[in-house]
Chain A
Amino acid sequence: MAFTIEVNGVERTVDVDGEMPLLWVLRDVLDLKGSKYGCGAGLCGACTVHLDGEPTRSCLTPISRVGTAKVTTIEGIGETLLGRRVQNAWLDVDVMQCGYCQAGQIMSAAALLAKTPRPSDRNIDSAMTGNVCRCCTYPRIRAAIKKAAGLSTADARMP
Chain B
Amino acid sequence: MTRFAGLSAAAARRSDGALPSRRAFLKTGAAVGGGLLLHAVLPGLARAASAESEAQGAAMLNAFVSIARDGSVTIVAKNPEIGQGVKTMLPMLIAEELDVDWQDVRTAQADLDTEKYGRQVAGGSMATPLNWEPLRRVGAAGRQMLVAAAAQSWDVPADECSTAQGVVHHAKSGRKLGYGALVEKAAALPAPDLASVRLKDPRDFKIIGQPLPGVDDPLVVAGKPLFGIDVAVPGMLYAVFQKCPVFGGKVASANTDAIKSLPGVRAAFVVEGGDNPQGLVGGVAIVADSWWAASSARDKLQVTWNEGPTRTQSSAGFASAAAALAKSAPQHALRRDGDPGAGFARAAQVIEASYTYPFLAHIDLEPQNCTAHVHDGKVEIWAPTQNPAPGALLVAATLGISESDVIVHMTRVGGGFGRRLRNDFMVEAAFIAKTVGAPVKLLWSREDDVQHDFYRPAGFHFLKGGVDADGKLVALSDHFVTFGHGERVADAAGMDASEFPAGLVANLDYGLSLMPLGVPTGPLRAPGANGIAFVFQSFLDELAHAAGQDPVDFHLAVLGEKGDPGRDFDTSRLRGVIELVAEKSGWANRHKLPKGTGMGIAAYFCHLGYFAEVVQATVAPSGAVKVDKVWVAGDVGSQIINPSNAENQVQGAALDGIGAALGQAITIDKGRVVEANFDTVKPLRMRQAPPVEVHFRITDHRPTGLGEPALPPVIPALCNALFAATGKRVRSLPINNAELKWS
Residues of A at under 8 Å CB distance from B?
16-17, 19-21, 24, 28-29, 31-41, 43-44, 46, 73-75, 78, 87, 90-91, 94-103, 106, 124-126, 128-129, 131-142, 155, 157-158
Contact = CB atoms under 8 A, between A and B. Distances in A.
B739 interface: no
Given A78-B222, A87-B222, A90-B221, A37 B229 contact: yes
Given A96-B220, A129-B685, A36 B691 contact: no
Which of B84, B217, B653 has most chain A Cβ within 10 Å?
A: B217
A37 B367 contact: yes
Contacts of A40: 445-446, 677
B742 interface: no
Contact of A99 (B226, B232, B292, B684): B226
A129 to B, nearest CB: 5
The 3 nearest A-B residue pairs measured at CB: A34-B223, A98-B83, A100-B414
B211 interface: yes
A20 B292 contact: yes
Nearest to A63: B292
Which of A34, A73, A75, A98 has most chain B Cβ within 10 Å?
A: A98
B84 to A, nearest CB: 7
B216 interface: yes
A10 to B, nearest CB: 15
B114 to A, nearest CB: 23
Contact of A98 (B221, B290, B415): B415
B363 interface: yes
B541 to A, nearest CB: 23
B678 interface: yes
Interface stretch (B198-206, B322-330, B644-652): B644-652
A39 B681 CA distance: 12
11 contacts: A36-B227, A38-B365, A41-B679, A44-B678, A87-B221, A91-B213, A101-B365, A103-B223, A129-B685, A134-B365, A140-B651
Contacts of B679: 41, 43
Contact of A91 (B218, B366, B417, B687): B218
A43 B413 CA distance: 21
Contacts of A20: 290, 292
B129 interface: no
A136 B684 contact: yes
B738 interface: no
Given A28-B290, A44-B678, A100 B227 contact: yes
A135 to B, nearest CB: 5
B414 A99 contact: yes
Given A135-B415, A136-B689, 12 more contacts: A17-B263, A31-B1, A44-B365, A87-B221, A94-B213, A94-B645, A97-B648, A97-B649, A98-B412, A133-B365, A136-B659, A138-B689
A53 B289 CA distance: 31
A157 B229 CA distance: 37
Contacts of A101: 365
Contact of A129 (B214, B238, B412, B687): B687
A119 to B, nearest CB: 12
Contact of B82 (A21, A98, A126, A129): A98
Contacts of A37: 229, 367, 443
Contacts of A157: 690-691
A136 B677 contact: no
Nearest to A43: B678
A73 to B, nearest CB: 7
A129 B291 contact: no
A137 B628 contact: no
B294 to A, nearest CB: 11
Given A43-B678, A98-B83, A24 B292 contact: yes
Nearest to A21: B292
Given A78-B222, A98-B82, A132 B365 contact: yes
Contacts of A99: 83, 214, 216-217, 220, 226, 412, 414
B367 A136 contact: no
Contacts of A90: 217, 220-221
A134 B525 CA distance: 12
Which of A20, A78, A99, A129 has most chain B Cβ within 10 Å?
A: A99
A87 B220 CA distance: 9
Contacts of B417: 134
Contacts of A34: 222-225
Given A99-B412, A131-B686, A24 B291 contact: yes
B468 interface: no
A16 B290 CA distance: 10
Given A40-B446, A94-B213, A139 B692 contact: yes
B673 to A, nearest CB: 16
Nearest to B83: A98
A155 B49 CA distance: 52
B678 A36 contact: no
B446 A134 contact: no
